Amino acid sequence: MKLDDHFEEEFEDFDSYARRRDRNNMLKTTLVMVSLFVLLVIALVLYANMDQKPSGTTAQNKPATAQNGQINTDLEGYVSGETRTAEDLGFWHAYDEPSPTLGEADITMQANAALPTPTEKPDPATDGMHTRITYADGTEEWAEINPYLARSRYDLTGLVYQKPFMQYYENNTKKSFVGVDISKEEDYVDFSELKKAGVDFVMLRLGQRGYSSGELSLDENFIDNYTRAREAELDIGVYFVTSAVTTEEAKEEADYCLASISENEITLDYPLALSVMPLGNGKARTDNLEKMPRTNVALTFMKNIEDAGYFPLLYGDKATLIKKYSLGSMIGYDVWYAGEGDLPDYPYQFVMWQYDLDGEVKGIAGGARMNICFTDYKIR
C-alpha cells in the first residue's frame, strides 16, 4: 500500500467522525434549550399562584401576622366565611366551671354506692363447719372442721345417763360398754365391786415417760391392778402416757410397753392406748413440738403397737387432738375422746368417750374417771 493511499483513507474516516460529532452537539443544545423553557414555564405558574388571593376575601381575611412586634389575632371569616371567634365557641371554657357543691350527705351516699354490698359472715356456732374449742385458761376458739375426716356417726338422742353410768341405745338395744380408767392415783381399787356395780372394762395405766425428765417407768400399781382386775373377770385395756419428742423415742416407748406386757404375761381385751394429754403444771419437754413432728411421734408408736398385733388407740381432749395433731394423717386409727359433759363435743368419729372425771361408783374411793365405749372389741 502507498503512503498517500493510506492517508486518504484515514482522512475520509476523520471527516465522517466530524459530521457525527456536529449532529450530536446540536441535539444536546436542543435538549438544554427545551429543559430551560420547561423550568421557566413552571416558575411562572408557581409565581402566578402565590400572587393570587382567595376569592371574596379582603385584607381583613388574612391570618394572624406579626405587626410592630404584636400578633394580629383577628381571624374573623378566615375559615369558610365563619364570622364567630374562638371566644364564641363555648367548649373552650367548659372545664373551667366549678362542679356543683356536694353536701356531706351526698358525699356519703356516693361513697357507699361505690362500695360492694357487705355480706354477713356466717355464724360459726350454727354453720356446721366449725367447732368450739375451750382451753384450760378459759379462752375459746372456733376451729374449722376438716371435711375429709369422718364425722361422728352416733345418734346423740340414744345417749341415756343411768346413774352412775352413761349408756347408748340404738333401736331400744344397748350398744355401749361401761368403763373406768385407773392408775396409782386411785390408790386401792376393789375390782370385784366395780364388776358388781355394772362396769364392763377397765383401762389401766401401764406406764409413762417423765414429762420433764424423759425417763420411762411402770405405773406403781399396774401389776397389782391387772392381777385383781383379771380375777374380777373385767375386760382389760392399758394406756401409756407419752412425752416422746422424736420418732426414736416413740419406738422406744412402744417397745417398752410390749416388753412389759410380755414379761408380765399380760393379755389384753381392749386397746393399748397412747395418752397425749398434757401432764403437770411445769414446762414439759414436748411443749415446743410442732404439729407434724408431734403427729409422726404418735404414728410411730401406734404403728409399732399395731404391728405387734394389738389395737392402738389415741387418747386426748378436743383441743389437743385438733390443734396439736394432723388428724388427716392418722386416718385409720381409733380415738379415745376426753371431754366432760352430758354430750360428746367432738366432731369426728371416736370409739370411746371419757365423759366424767369425778364420777361415783362402788369400788373406787373418791372420784372415778368414767368412760363409755361404742365398740365391742371382743368381736372386732
Q: Bridge partners of 316?
A: 337
Query: Residue 193: in which H helix or E strand, if any?
Result: helix 191-197
Tens-place pLDDT, residues 211-232: 889 999 999 999 999 999 999 9
Given a contact cutoff of 8 angstroms between Cβ atoms, the answer to whether 324 and 340 are in contact is no
pLDDT band for position 20 (50/70/90)? low
Higher pLDDT residue, 60 or 137? Answer: 137
Round to whole Å and give the CA distance between 349 and 193. Answer: 32
What SS3 state is found at 20? helix
pLDDT at 116: 57
Percentage with pLDDT > 90 across the chain: 61
Does position 59 have pLDDT exceeding 50, yes or no? no
Torsion, Cα 325 329 335 338, to 10 degrees, reads 10
Round to whole Å and give the CA distance between 19 and 23. Answer: 6
Round to whole Å and give the CA distance between 164 and 234. Answer: 18
pLDDT at 280: 65
Q: What is the pTM of this model?
A: 0.69
Tens-place pLDDT, residues 258-273: 999 999 999 999 999 9
pLDDT at 36: 79
pLDDT at 56: 45
Nearest residue to 309 (alpha-carbon basis) of 375, 257, 231, 349 = 257
Round to whole Å and give the CA distance between 191 and 179. Answer: 12
pLDDT band for position 86 (50/70/90)? very low
State CA 309 to chain mean position distance. Answer: 39
Given a contact cutoff of 8 angstroms between Cβ atoms, the answer to whether 273 and 237 are in contact is yes
Q: Which residues, including other chains, have CB under 8 Å from residue 278's CB and lie 6 or more apart? A: 211, 284, 320
Between 134-148, 172-186, 191-205, 275-289, the lowest mean confidence (pLDDT) is in 275-289
User: How confident is the model over 172-183, as a mean pLDDT?
Assistant: 97
CA–CA distance from 239 to each of 49, 94, 115, 169, 307 (Å)?
Answer: 116, 87, 58, 27, 17
pLDDT at 111: 57
Amino acid 328 reads: G
Tens-place pLDDT, residues 125-176: 888 899 999 998 899 999 999 999 999 999 999 999 988 899 999 999 999 9
Mean pLDDT of the chain: 82
